[in-house]
Amino acid sequence: MAAGGRCGAFHRGGGGAGAAGGIFSASADWRQGVFSSRRIERATHRDIGMRFVAANLHPDHDTISTFRRGNRAAIEAAFLHVLELARETGLMRLGTVSIDGTKIDANASKYRSIRYDRAKDLREKLATDIAALMERADAADATEMDHQALPDELARREAEARKQAEAARPDYERRKAAFDAKRGRRGRPPKEPDDEPLPDRQINLTDPDSKLMRRSDAHEYRQACNAQAVVCAEGRQLIVEKGIVATTADAPSFADMILGMEGRIGLPRTVLADTGFASRKAVETVQARGVDPLVAIGRPVDRRSYDFRPEPSPREPLRITEPWRLKMKARLQQDPAKTLYALRRQTVEPVFGIIKSAMGFTRFHLRGLANVATEWTLVALAYNCRRIARLSAA
């Protein structure tokens, strides 16, 4: 393959202006909904737009894939550069932002997931079977499972559990001392952290960093990653921050996502978040840095006037007792917070709809949290390029 111009950057996988050209070539392909390395390679032969951004060169799919995995820093720099250009041209104002997460399928099958206790049983069975096979000099496989993946993954999960237990022990000691000092000792004592994974913890042998997730109680479980995005809520709908978390919950990443913007493009004035981000610790952390969070408390169920669905069975409403939740709920019931929070749904959720439906990105192609984060950055970069082009043409 020729190594020159933008495609020379693909071949070298390096930084500098050549790498930037390769990044924008790749993001232009992604902006049109072409994500596969093989499809991008074919498009450089037959699509005029693709041939233009690739400088009329034709990198092979392996080179494109290697470039995508090995240039995370350059892709991050390109993402920030596009945001800085949008700010200079007045297309982005960092005042009010919306944050949300969406589940995107991982490059792994949920049928390759296995519970920790089942993996231990299989390892013991494998050891017994292999010993018997060695005695009989039989080379047949004992099982269809991946023999090499199980021990490695078991060791990895056990090491993670020990690390989490060590990190949680100081908090356990503090809570235990407070419980022992209480008069009467009412309530349950704090539970000591366990240095072994829970028996029902799932392990995926294809992509260990992905998890079984579902969008809601009405959806099926899928092997996926939780893609996070912070979107400008002042009319432009540009993604100003992004991230990937390997948990179904959004709250643990709330403060880190918002405060991580400080060293990049600056902190927003107000952040709008749904009930999945409701965490006292995260809210207080964000408020301490001068950011005003508006977080929904509870999830009201709106029904149409003539709803064809049967009436749901009456349920007792969830009691809210925490002072910060009561204060936040009362605030969101009155203007101006009520009117401002209404912007969340019409700013961040359409972004995910465009990425999944208009751009066609519904599944990650890489594996591992670091590689998936790079891929999500490239998706956000492609979306921003697409959005800026539309805004500039209007």
Q: Do residues 346 and 98 lie in contact, with contact meaning Cβ atoms separated by under 8 Å?
A: no
Domain termination site, one of 204, 225, 251: 204
pLDDT of residue 13: 42
Assigned domain for 196 exists: yes
Give residue-wise pLDDT tens across range 332-387.
888 898 899 988 888 899 999 999 998 989 999 888 899 999 999 999 999 999 89
Number of domains the chain contains: 3
In this prediction, residue 226 carries a pLDDT of 93
pLDDT digits (tens, 9 = 90+) for 189-205: 767 666 665 666 677 77
Which of 178, 204, 230 lies at the terminal end of a domain, its last residue?
204
Residue 115 phi/psi, 5-degree rounding, is: -75, 155
In a domain, 53, yes or no: yes
Tell me what percent of the residues of the chain surpass a pLDDT of 90.
21
Examine residue 75 and state whether it is found in any structural domain, yes or no. no
Average pLDDT score, the chain: 78
In terms of domains, do 357 and 245 share one?
A: yes
Distance between CA 44 and CA 57 in Å, rounded? 7
Q: How confident is the model at residue 232 (pLDDT cuts 50, 70, 90)?
A: very high
258, part of any domain: yes
Q: At what angle do helices 116-136 and 149-181 cross, to 10 degrees?
A: 140
pTM, whole model, 2 decimals? 0.71
Looking up residue 216, the CATH number of its domain turns out to be: 3.30.420.10
Same domain, 159 and 103: no
Residue that wins the pLDDT comparison between 290 and 64: 290
Q: 276: which residues sit within 8 A by CB, 6+ positions away?
A: 101, 249, 250, 251
Peptide bond into 350 cis (omega under 30): no
| Distance between CA atoms of residues 385 and 30, nearest Å | 10
Last residue of one domain, picked from the residues 188, 204, 220: 204
Q: Quote the pLDDT of residue 17.
A: 42
* C-alpha–C-alpha distance, residues 369 and 88, integer Å: 33
Residues 349 and 272 in one domain: yes
The answer on pLDDT for 62 being more than 60 is yes
Q: Which domain holds residue 179?
A: 113-204
Least confident of 166-170, 206-210, 288-292, 337-341: 166-170
Shared domain for 278 and 176, answered yes or no, is: no
